[in-house]
Amino acid sequence: MKHVAIAIDGPAAAGKSTVAKIVAKRLGFVYIDTGAMYRAFTWYVLHRGLDPKNEEASCSLIPEVRISLKEDGSVFVCGHDVTRAIREPLVSSNVSYIASYKGIRLALIDLQRELGEKDNCVMDGRDIGSYVLPHAEVKIFQIASVETRAKRRFLENQEKGIPTTYEEVVADVKNRDYIDSHRDFDPLMQAEDAIPLDTSDMTIEEVVDAILRIVEEKTGVKACR
């Protein structure tokens, strides 16, 4: 089988990673969570006592930052297990600044492309179809209303024991969407050849099935039950 890449992009908390993880498992592909990489970088900047709003200081860490995504979904940066910490509100409210710096993006995109070339993959993020993997066989742009997204993320935070109010989640989602889609280099956008999928009124299973149908149509690859 020739190498197959599936790109899933969209705004904050659109449910991309939940769906991408299941789709990857059903196809036997590797799942690559690019948001976790920007979050891990942000965690490290904070850990080093630097201000994520300071581009020069944040970019000065590029040579020392080592990020790895493990098969079990855990995330490491420079030897620290940050799997849970990268979901904390302080990281969420700062990650879009870090993700707007060209130097950091280029370094993480190199890593993403390297991982994406190794195996068949499902990669989710903001710029996968438009910039990271422009030749991906399948490109999905997953959207949902701000209210739906905030509600989903609020419940997810509750399940994980991350303390946030619904209002804080709405503000975070709107703020990140704004910064992500207005940055100069490589902003969040739908690739011309991406298929839009409005998941506002869909369950996770319905979204997974819709994506798997598109994958089969475009690549002939069938999912396992």
- Using CB under 6 A, list all residues that contact ligand CDP: 12-13, 17, 34-35, 38-39, 95-96, 99, 125-127, 176, 180
Residue nearest to ligand CDP (CB): 35
**What is the smallest separation between the CB atom of 88 and ligand CDP, expressed in angstroms?**
12
* Closest distance of CB 208 from ligand CDP, Å: 17
For residue 210, how many other CB atoms are within 10 A of its CB? Answer: 17
Between 134 and 220, whose beta carbon lies closer to ligand CDP? 134
Closest distance to ligand CDP from the beta carbon of 144 (Å)? 11
Residue 2 or 68: the one with the smaller Cβ distance to ligand CDP is 68
Over 87-120, what HEC string results? HCHHHHHHHHHHCCCHHHHHHHHHHHHHHHHHCC
Which phi and psi (to 5°) does residue 127 adopt? -135, 20
Residue closer to ligand CDP, measured from CB, 35 or 89: 35
Least Å distance between CB 101 and ligand CDP? Answer: 10
Cα-flanking dihedrals φ and ψ of residue 52, to 5°? -60, -15
Q: Where are the beta strands (DSSP E) in the chain?
A: 5-9, 30-33, 67-69, 75-77, 80-81, 121-125, 138-143, 195-198
Q: Which among 120, 201, 133 has a CA at the least distance from the CA of 210?
A: 201
Adjacent-strand bridge partners of 81: 76
CB of residue 127 to ligand CDP, shortest distance in Å: 5
Which CB, 89 or 119, lies closer to ligand CDP?
A: 89
| 136 three-state secondary structure | coil
Considering the complex, state which of residue 126 and residue 139 has its C-beta at the smaller distance from ligand CDP. Answer: 126
Nearer to ligand CDP by Cβ, of 26 and 176: the residue is: 176
Residue 99 beta carbon to ligand CDP: minimum distance, rounded to whole angstroms:
3
